[in-house]
Structure 1
Amino acid sequence: MTLSQAQTTVDNWIRTHGVRYFSELTNTAILMEEVGEVARIMARKYGDQSMKPSDEGKELADELADVLFVLVCLANQTGINLEEAFQKNLEKKTARDQDRHKNNPKLNG
């Protein structure tokens, strides 16, 4: 699925099952909440925190998909074509960081 297809799929889902989009501000708050759930899993699975019983059954893939869903909602609401924006962002990063990471002793040591 391309990013453009994802945007269309989410829009169709919202119109079919979600009645309407939440406000942009609400979706921004939901995005932060979902990113927090990703951070919680990362801290427990890959970091130093131990799992709690309430963490059982939480899957990183599902939480990342939640982040993507809300991010796509925000893009749809604000008229952003994520495919174009992502391509431009990669071009910016490539021009800016062409040699930066190759010359970083922290990454090459």
Structure 2
Amino acid sequence: MTFDEAQQSVDEWIRTIGVRYFSELTNLALLMEEVGEFSRLVARKYGDQSFKKGEDPEGIPKELGDILFVLVCLANQMGISLEEAFRKTLEKNTNRDKERHKNNPKLGGSESPT
């Protein structure tokens, strides 16, 4: 599924099942909530914390899906093409970092730290 297809699918879901979009501010709060849930699971799986009773150690993909859904809602509400936004970000990062990471000794590159 492309970003454009995802945006169309979410919009269709909102119009047929969700009734209407929540406000942008509500969706921003929901996005932060979902990122927090994702962060909690990552901290427990990859960090020093252990899982609490009832937490799903395999819940990370679900949380990423929740984050993506709300992010798509926000993009739709703001008239932003995620495909175009992502393409531009990839171009920007490529132009900015094409040599930087290869030369970073912290990443195994050859540039000496300053």
Q: Report the TM-score, using the length of structure 1 for normalisation.
A: 0.96
CA displacement 1:32-61 (0-9 Å, x = unmatched): 000001100000000000110131366110
Partner of 2:88: 88
Give, as a single letter, the amino acid of the residue that structure 1 aligns with 2:5.
Q
* Equivalent residues in 2 for 1:1-109, closer than 5 Å: 1-56=1-56, 59-108=59-108
Percent identical residues = 68
| Number of equivalences | 109
Q: Output the CA distance in 2 between the equivalents of 1:19 and 1:3.
A: 22
Match of 1:101, SS state, is coil
- CA radius of gyration, larger in: 2
Q: Output the CA distance in 1 between the equivalents of 2:36 and 2:58.
A: 13
* Stretch moving more, 49-58 or 73-82: 49-58
Gaps in structure 1 of 5+ consecutive residues: none
Q: Output the CA distance in 1 between the equivalents of 2:31 and 2:13.
A: 18
Give, as a single letter, the amino acid of the residue that structure 2 aligns with 1:7.
Q
CA RMSD of aligned residues (A): 1.1
Q: Output the CA distance in 1 between the equivalents of 2:100 and 2:76.
A: 33
Q: Report the TM-score, using the length of structure 2 for normalisation.
A: 0.92
Moved over 4 A (4+): none
* Stretch moving more, 95-104 or 55-64: 55-64
